[in-house]
Amino acid sequence: MNQHVFPRKPALFFLLMLLTGLGYTQEKTGDKQELLTNQQSEGTVVTIEFRKGLEHYHPLMAVWVEDMEGHYMHTLYVAQSIAKGVFKHANYEDGSWKRGEKKIPAALPYWSHSRNAPGPDSSYMPTPDHPVPDAYTGATPTGSFTLTTVVADSVERPFRVLFEINQSWDWNEHWYNSKYPGNKEYLKSAQPALVYEAVVDRDSPSGRFKMEAIGHSHPYGANGKLFEDISTLTTARQIADEIVVKVAGKGE
């Protein structure tokens, strides 16, 4: 098998700037970012506590809620660059990065297809003309963070919280750069997005639910299928050290 695994650094950061719309920012020791979304809704207030792992390098993320039958209900958070289809570092021209429109189907395909909202080109990706509402978006966290959000009252209990995360150029022995020859979308992803889940019961006394990895997304975003075998994912499983969903007012 002819394979070529790219080095992670420093070339990694150029692509990360393109995908996340962020330059490299040094996180101060002990800092934890706070995100707020969906604050205008009435419902169950939950927090998602994300503790970064050893392989965390500015990944893209989406969080949403489904009913127990797996039907998408609504988004809780998605990175602003994906939500608007506009990236700060979309194109490199005349010696500098230019802001512009960009679609990356391989970034978060399980979330994007779950929404069942294909755009004019059927890519299922948000665009400037069909964006995700501001209430559900925010800047891409650079490290560990806490997301405080609201699950709408229309969502019956218990419900499922899903978390999809993807980091570009994280090649390994199975997900190597020539695995899908000529596929430019795969080259923006490498190891596919990893999907976590927690079943949340608002009546549980503890109110604390640890998220577990349940599968990975399509490697270049061609569909919204969930692939349950994650044995080929290595560093992708170390982007997050722990993700916990907590129901406000429970177990405190």
34-80 pLDDT tens trace: 999 999 989 999 999 999 999 999 999 999 999 999 999 999 999 99
Q: Most confidently modeled of 3-7, 89-93, 223-227?
A: 223-227
- In this prediction the pTM is 0.85
Residues 8-31, mean pLDDT to the nearest whole number: 41
Q: Percent of the chain at pLDDT above 90?
A: 67
Domain range for 150 is 11-22+39-247
Q: Are strands 212-216 and 194-200 parallel, antiparallel or unpaired?
A: antiparallel
Any domain includes 163: yes
Residues 132-149, mean pLDDT to the nearest whole number: 95
Q: Percent of the chain at pLDDT above 70?
A: 79
Amino acid in the structure at residue 16: L
Which of 8-12, 45-49, 160-164 is predicted least confidently? Answer: 8-12
Residues 201-215, mean pLDDT to the nearest whole number: 92
Any domain includes 2: no
Phi, psi of 238 (to 5 degrees): -115, 10
pLDDT band at residue 30 using 50, 70 and 90 as cut-offs? low
- For the cut 90, the answer to whether the pLDDT of residue 145 exceeds it is yes
Q: Which residue has the tokens 């609201």?
A: 150
Any domain includes 214: yes
Any domain includes 28: no
Residues 80-118: pLDDT tens digits? Answer: 999 998 876 556 566 666 666 878 899 999 999 999 776
Any domain includes 33: no
Give me the pLDDT at residue 32, please: 85
Sign of CA dihedral 105, 108, 110, 111: negative
Give me the pLDDT at residue 206, please: 87
Burial class (CB in 10 A: 0-12, 13-18, 19+), 54: exposed
Any domain includes 144: yes
Any domain includes 186: yes
Question: Total structural domains in the chain?
Answer: 1
Top-confidence residue, 3 or 155:
155
Any domain includes 138: yes
